[in-house]
Amino acid sequence: MIKDLEAPVLTNTRIGVNTFKMEIDTEIDLSREIKPGQFLMIKTVNFSDDPLLRRAFAIADVEGSKITLFYDVVGRGTKLLSLFKTGDKVKILLPLGKGTFPLSYEENVLIGGGIGMAGLTLLGKELLKRGKKVTVVYGAKTKRLLSMESFLRNLFEDVYIFTEDGSAGEKGYATDILNELTGKEVIHACGPMPMLKSLYNSRHKIFMSFESPMACGWGVCLGCVIKDKNNNFLRVCKEGPVFEKEKVMI
């Protein structure tokens, strides 16, 4: 069931040039309720109604009542979010999204582009718990934008890094990993649209998490739609945010 909570911020720490990690205490254990791929909507101010609309963020981790988000400061809402201090309360709506990642495949490759990596970490943890094989591929433009690397290395053994300028890991795009796969793996991807488009024509089985701009987050405004193969609208916030590649047109 979707919960509308006012929850205290535990930490809100800058971990990279423009990236923050926020931990929130939901004060109730949500670890059984939150499925990999689900997200929350958060009000980025708690003292006024401007900006009015909540912003969407992937639930990157959940341990008991503690949830973790990673976010890039890209505009006004995320700038305001970065000002929250320990003990401040945030208004959150969660868990959102019915389309979640599957947990049943044996060999899994998680491809995260930039902050999109945050949409895959909970999935990786849950797959490992189930004894599945997990390879994590994290791509960014350059080394200083690899803000989530230490978080990933703490959780996963198999982590491959790609940077576009070659300043860390392999030079190239995270999607270049496709050249090295056997074909048995299932891919789970989250990142910028050009990255998802480049995966779209691959012959692999792929589940993609979309981060379309959202206004309501729970299926009412139709602001987040993409199309399926029959030209019907799919609400990313409600039917997604995760879709199997074969079901959508991008």
Ligand X SMILES: Cc1cc2nc3c(=O)[nH]c(=O)nc-3n(C[C@H](O)[C@H](O)[C@H](O)COP(=O)(O)OP(=O)(O)OC[C@H]3O[C@@H](n4cnc5c(N)ncnc54)[C@H](O)[C@@H]3O)c2cc1C
- 3-state helix, strand, coil split of the chain in percent (to 5) is 20, 35, 45
CB count within 10 Å of CB 136 equals: 24
Alpha-carbon gap, residue 64 to 124, rounded angstroms? 17
Q: Which segment (82-90, 102-110, 146-154, 211-219) binds ligand X by CB under 6 A?
A: 211-219
220 binds, among ligand FES, ligand X, none (CB under 5 to 8 A by kind): ligand FES
CA distances from 23 to 36, 68, 124 (A): 17, 5, 19
Q: Which segment (124-132, 172-180, 197-205, 208-216) binds ligand X by CB under 6 A?
A: 208-216
Residue selected from 224, 226, 234, 248 as contacting ligand FES according to rule CB under 6 A? 224
Alpha-carbon gap, residue 60 to 83, rounded angstroms? 20
Cis check: omega of the bond before 95, within 30 degrees of 0: yes
x/- letters, 177..216, toward ligand FES (CB under 6 A): -------------------------------------xxx
Per the CB < 8 A criterion, the answer to whether 180 and 204 are in contact is: no
Closer to ligand X by Cβ: residue 39 or 101: 39
Residue selected from 9, 21, 23, 57 as contacting ligand X according to rule CB under 6 A? 57
9 binds, among ligand FES, ligand X, none (CB under 5 to 8 A by kind): none
Closer to ligand X by Cβ: residue 19 or 135: 19
State the minimum distance, in angstroms, from the CB of residue 41 to ligand FES.
9
Is 101 one of the binding residues for ligand X (CB under 6 A)? no
Strands (E), 97-141: 107-113, 133-140
Alpha-carbon gap, residue 163 to 220, rounded angstroms? 38
Residue selected from 199, 235, 242, 248 as contacting ligand FES according to rule CB under 6 A? 235
95 binds, among ligand X, ligand FES, none (CB under 5 to 8 A by kind): none
Is 51 one of the binding residues for ligand FES (CB under 6 A)? no
Tell me if residue 49 falls in helix, strand or coil: coil
CB count within 10 Å of CB 182 equals: 6
Give strand pairing partners of 196. Answer: none
33 binds, among ligand X, ligand FES, none (CB under 5 to 8 A by kind): none
Alpha-carbon gap, residue 218 to 76, rounded angstroms? 22
User: By the criterion CB under 6 A, which residues form the site for ligand X?
Assistant: 39, 55-58, 69-72, 74-78, 115, 118-119, 211-214, 241
Binding site for ligand FES (CB under 6 A): 214-217, 219-224, 235, 237
